[in-house]
Structure 1
Amino acid sequence: MEFRRDINGLRAIAVALVVLFHFGIPGMQGGFIGVDVFFVISGYLMTGIIFSRMRKDSFSVLGFYLDRARRIVPALACVCFIVLLVGWVLLLPGGYEELANQVLGSLTFVSNFIYTQDSGYFEQAVHDNWLLHTWSLSVEWQFYLIYPIAIVALRQFFPLHSIRWFIVIAAILSFALSIYASGRWPTHAFYLLPTRAWEMMVGALVFLFPIQKSHENKMLWEAVGFVLIAFSAVFISSSVAWPGWLAAFPVIGTALIMLQARQDSPLTSNPISEFLGKSSYSIYLWHWPVVVWMHYFGLMSNVLWVITGIVISIVLGYISYNYIENVARKKKTSLTKSSIRPLIRIGAPTTVAAIFSAAIIFSDGYPKRMSDDFYATMEKLDLPRVTNGWCFYDVNTNEHLPIGSKGLECRRGERNSALKGLLFGDSFAGHYGPFWDQLGKELSAEVNSVTTNWCYPSTNDVIYGDVTSRSYDQCLVNRKYFLENASGYDFVVLSGSWKKIYSAEQMQGVYDAISYAARQSKLVIVMATPTYFDVDVRKMYVRSVLFDIDFDINEFSKVGDLEAVEANKAIENFTKNYANVFYMDRSSLFHVNGVPSEVTEENIPYSFDQHGHISIYGSVMAATSFIKSHRYNELAERITEVQRNKSKNLVFMNSKDSENSGSSTL
């Protein structure tokens, strides 16, 4: 196909939109639509290659694949390799192993499937995914695999010019699925081919249904196309379901511009557009790792750093285009002996990056890169589990833990004390294990922890997690124990992931558990869910320790915490129905000198992750904070009253026993 300056200019616009969006430039909240523009262009070009060669009887599916691989793979493999080298210095073993898996997913073009299991594309946590942007390459490659084979198959039964009507039907079905799935399964709809294929098929239809217009009409319709793209980039935001029906705006806008085929348009045929368009693929590849690197060191709030990051992305893209991408596709691929050279250019960098990734995975992320002192410092920031000396019976992480009664006996606090407490719930009860160990010693109470994954306090058999998992089986054991033994404890502590339960509309089970415990025990204590962050706070703190940089927890957004606050409030309001239920709120648990805080006095976060869990250290320090609060004095009085009543009951029972013993001897 001949070089088209308008399409090259559209590439420039597309990559500019994506780069500006990812670097957080104001007014570009819809810049992610640049990927949709790319998809339309790709569909047009691939269809042009396939149909043009078929008309000349020179099309080969294998040759098509080799051309696509030579265009895409070498630069991608280079980026993957460089990112792995950077990860050696920056990432902890777990994160490094995860990066290696992402590299393999990118090189095999299945990364879009991987990212459907992670955070949504627009969440802050994605800034830890160095190769997130390769999802679009995976979608395109999957389209490349299926599309030519489908056309070849259809050509066996239909004339070439009739096949375009099948593409029309397929595009309509894909668009309909996109609208439906974007509302119901937004993450999968965003990342997967079936809901994206229509965008590439629209590009195909531009090639297959060329429309001739006068010069004046061309200018008008091209202007309409640019307006649709600009409108989408400025007014559409990440809050909409994407790619739903609104994705039609940038897709149609791109199609309109391509239909006009104006080679002298000032917006697409200027030196800047020509430069960015030619380097667009490589700029796209390099810009996202630069964004992640800047987020890693907290540089995105600095305007000068943002500008520098954009410039670096363009420079790296230019170098990559000239010395990797251009060299790799310099000679035409054929299915002869000469095809060995392009195969080497494709296979060599891919093999190196893949072997490096495999070595990282097999070595569990090369943990020996870090010093023993570093691990000793970080150990206290882990989640308190049975495997590290605490009580949370984490059967999801450790499959060697048996399902059954072994998850019902883990005692902390003051051992063998006459005063007995029960800590019951899911991981959000388990992470309070060190808290109740310290508080139990302070209050002279022994606390038995019965906690496992997803098993929030409830009297029914419903959980918000996987009902086919081992944790569900353990949960049934735990809840049976709670129902049969709550009355045997002097006080019962209930805690759970109130946010997840609230969003799953399963709060009635929690209310029933609180009511049941209030009837069975003298005192029930309900604990608030800690703060949810939009990033892994522990990971951010670890980075600050590794590189001796300032840690400011206020830099991290907490949009996901809004629902947790609502859930905490709902729980607190319900506890007011019972005189013997005591609620521990966040402000009494997490503060410094009475001022609510998400970090301790040492500027270390209470949090273990972004999902509301707290670490061993955070749990211990929460106990220290709570003991200094007025709520502790109220709880101590409640506990003292329970002890006093228990002592009175024991004296009464002993006197009754003495009376009965004396009367029996008469």
Structure 2
Amino acid sequence: MVVLFHFKIGPSYGGFAGVDVFFVISGFLMQEICSKEMKKHGWVMGFYKKRFNRIYPALLVMSVLAFAVVLATETPDGVKSAFKQAASALTFTSNIYYWITSGGYFSGSSDLNWLLHTWSLSLEWQYYLIFPAIITIGNMLGRYRNAFYLSTIILSLCLCIFISRNHQDASFYLLPTRMWELMLGAYVSAHKFKNNYKRTTEIASILIIVAFCVLVKEGNTWPGSLTLIPTLCAAAVINACVSNESTVFRFSPIQLIGKASYSIYLFHWPVVAYMANNSIEFNPLSSTVGIALSVALGFVSYRYFENIRNLKGIKAVSAATAFSLLAFAVSSIGLSKYWISDRTIKLEEYKYYSDNAIRIKQFGNDNGICFLTTKYNDVSFFDKEKCLTPSSEKKNILLIGDSHAAEFSQAMREEFTDYNVMQATASGCIPIASIDPSSYCQKLINYIYDDFLKNNKVDGIFISANWVAFNEYNLLEKLNASLANKKDAKVYVIGQTKTFEIDFYKIAQKVDRLRIDKLVTKDSEEINNVMIDDFKSTELHYLDVFNLNCIESKCNYFIGNDIPYMFDRNHLTKEWAEVYVKEIKKMTRI
């Protein structure tokens, strides 16, 4: 499930739930193992040692090989990042590392993290550390053990659902909100439910998991209440305990894949990350090749790496320490600069473009806050005096929208010199009025439509957004309703710009210029075509800017050799924003 999902095989949208199924299985096994070992002297340290020796050898080999690939193909900055990822993976803290740095497991940029998949191993190890205490307490409680387990499950699940609402990344990566899945497996082991329909239960549960994998798409609240479906089905399959002769898993190919599944999981993600970092499209052919390579590497690891005698216990720790020191030294001196081109290294600067002074000025926050963001997340930060003061001497232009409006802010002020340019923008906010102004961005937008336009003279209104991000029903109708107070102002809707699956600076580093067109997302092109048709019969002027970087069928994505079209997946760099605004000015008659 997980491998198919990561290689973006169409009918496996919900394959990410494979990790949740794994947690249930693991929780069951840990309960089974510990309950048998508890009578032995020193069983806790023995448990830790066996778990470590089971996990670590293949993990260490995979980390070393992945780092070697990064060193050969990435910039010095990329190598530094890979060292931090490897260090977190080998210390079982990568779930915390990615919680802080990744921007979300389901974000488009997450594929660029070379060892992202190790988050689940880190969480698993953290569970191992506390489980001996849990099972000891459970046994001390005697007949109340199952109630203790069930209470732990319910508490962790409630915490998971609550935190997912506003802190989805924390809920996804951290043990307190994932512990209920592992404890569900432990509960199945501790509490032997009688099942008179074992075979039916197994088949029905597997079919539900398969249906979930095919039908459910990733969401912003995973894990949550929906996670109960695959986890409870996994628990039901385990509890059914169908005999080896009768189970649907008895077939040798399934058994063989099961034996190598840990190594397949370990080695599939670096293949995914290599494809993502080199902008290799995930199409049926490339994904099939990637899966085949992952399975082959997995079987090699299963055969040769998982049980290396010299990579267990203190020897494994020593080897990991030596590798970490070497990787740190290599990353510190920027060794890859000797074979990575200067242009590629220079483009890496755009990775940090969002935080530099050029971008802050470009988006209108250089001398007062005209663009609300997660940092400036309240309307009290908005500087009305600087951003919304009409002129009595010049015609007034108002720029409204999300970050895709804000990116034009500086360029509009510099290009429309005969006009007074005002700005009201908020990150992630669709520029239509709402009857429920619960967010800071919506409060700002409502103020503009319901108050500012009603009481101030504005000659031209420019509305822009990343329209593809808003699956808004009757958008045109709602825009017209929002603009009820526009008076005689001419309204221009700046259309959808191109978007990409990964940050454009990465594409600029690795992809031949003739291939870039193929990496433009289809949904951004489709929404632009839909909006062109919708706006034909309205007085709102739709500005089709989708191919402003193209002459006929030839598109250019660089100014000179070094200035890329965008710095992330969908925002123009300053220089390209200037190019767009010059063309936008030609399209308008205010």
Query: Do they fold alike, i.e. is TM over 0.5?
Result: yes
> 8 Å contact 2:60–2:320 — kept in the other structure?
yes
Change in Cα spacing, 1:492 to 1:113, as seen in structure 2 (3 Å) is: farther
> 8 Å contact 1:590–1:626 — kept in the other structure?
no
Residue in 2 that maps onto 1:551: 516
Structure 1 residue 616: deviation in Å? 4.1
> 8 Å contact 1:590–1:596 — kept in the other structure?
no
Distance in 1 (alpha carbons) for counterparts of 2:84 and 2:313: 24
Q: Deviations over 1:138-177 (max 9, x none)?
A: 221121112212333555x534x64333112111222233
Change in Cα spacing, 1:520 to 1:352, as seen in structure 2 (3 Å) is: farther
SS at match of 1:552: helix
More off after superposition, 305-314 vs 351-360: 351-360
Residue in 2 that maps onto 1:338: none
Is the aligned partner of 1:506 residue 2:441?
yes
Is the aligned partner of 1:22 residue 2:10?
no
Change in Cα spacing, 1:483 to 1:293, as seen in structure 2 (3 Å) is: closer
Distance in 2 (alpha carbons) for counterparts of 1:184 and 1:315: 40
> 8 Å contact 1:225–1:255 — kept in the other structure?
no
Is the aligned partner of 1:36 residue 2:20?
yes
Change in Cα spacing, 1:266 to 1:517, as seen in structure 2 (3 Å) is: closer
Q: Deviations over 1:245-302 (max 9, x none)?
A: 3322222222222223321235212211221111111100111111222233444444
Residue in 2 that maps onto 1:587: 545
Distance in 2 (alpha carbons) for counterparts of 1:111 and 1:244: 22
1:48 to 32, 36, 41: 32
2:218 to 227, 238, 242: 238
Residue in 2 that maps onto 1:123: 107
> 8 Å contact 2:77–2:348 — kept in the other structure?
no
Change in Cα spacing, 1:176 to 1:616, as seen in structure 2 (3 Å) is: closer
Letter in 1 for 2:566: S
Distance in 2 (alpha carbons) for counterparts of 1:588 and 1:279: 47
Distance in 2 (alpha carbons) for counterparts of 1:169 and 1:560: 50
Q: How does 1:208-607 map to 2 (within 5 A)?
A: 208-211=190-193, 217-239=197-219, 241-261=221-241, 262-328=243-309, 342-359=312-329, 362-363=332-333, 367=337, 369-374=339-344, 383=353, 394=360, 427-429=362-364, 450-451=366-367, 455-456=369-370, 463-466=372-375, 491-495=419-423, 498-502=426-430, 504-509=439-444, 526=462, 528=464, 531=497, 533-544=500-511, 550-552=515-517, 554-556=519-521, 585=543, 587=545, 590-593=548-551, 599=557, 606-607=565-566
Distance in 2 (alpha carbons) for counterparts of 1:384 and 1:25: 32
> 8 Å contact 1:221–1:260 — kept in the other structure?
yes
Distance in 1 (alpha carbons) for counterparts of 2:152 and 2:137: 15
Aligned length: 520
Distance in 1 (alpha carbons) for counterparts of 2:520 and 2:389: 46
Structure 1 residue 193: deviation in Å? 1.8
Structure 1 length-normalised TM: 0.66
> 8 Å contact 1:283–1:314 — kept in the other structure?
yes
Is the aligned partner of 1:73 residue 2:49?
no
SS at match of 2:420: strand
Is the aligned partner of 1:99 residue 2:79?
no
Change in Cα spacing, 1:105 to 1:584, as seen in structure 2 (3 Å) is: farther
2:579 to 611, 621, 624: 621
Distance in 2 (alpha carbons) for counterparts of 1:44 and 1:176: 21
SS at match of 1:492: strand
Distance in 2 (alpha carbons) for counterparts of 1:138 and 1:162: 30
Structure 1 residue 186: deviation in Å? 3.0
Distance in 1 (alpha carbons) for counterparts of 2:83 and 2:182: 30
Structure 1 residue 366: deviation in Å? 5.6
Structure 1 residue 125: deviation in Å? 2.3
Letter in 2 for 1:464: T
Structure 1 residue 467: deviation in Å? 5.1
> 8 Å contact 1:492–1:523 — kept in the other structure?
no
Q: Deviations over 1:208-231 (max 9, x none)?
A: 1224556xx332222233223222
Structure 1 residue 557: deviation in Å? 5.7
Change in Cα spacing, 1:202 to 1:590, as seen in structure 2 (3 Å) is: same
1:163 to 145, 159, 164: 145
> 8 Å contact 2:344–2:509 — kept in the other structure?
no
Distance in 1 (alpha carbons) for counterparts of 2:356 and 2:163: 41
Residue in 2 that maps onto 1:192: 174
SS at match of 2:421: strand
Larger-Rg structure: 1
Distance in 1 (alpha carbons) for counterparts of 2:82 and 2:393: 49
Change in Cα spacing, 1:360 to 1:485, as seen in structure 2 (3 Å) is: farther
SS at match of 1:551: helix
Aligned Cα root-mean-square deviation (Å): 4.3
SS at match of 2:12: coil
> 8 Å contact 1:73–1:346 — kept in the other structure?
yes
Distance in 2 (alpha carbons) for counterparts of 1:225 and 1:524: 59
Structure 1 residue 379: deviation in Å? 7.1
SS at match of 1:535: coil
> 8 Å contact 2:543–2:584 — kept in the other structure?
no
Q: Deviations over 1:397-437 (max 9, x none)?
A: xxxxxxxxxxxxxxxxxxxxxxxxxxxxx65237xxxxxxx
Structure 1's unaligned 5+ residue stretches are 1-16, 330-340, 395-425, 431-449, 458-462, 577-582, 636-666
> 8 Å contact 1:533–1:558 — kept in the other structure?
no
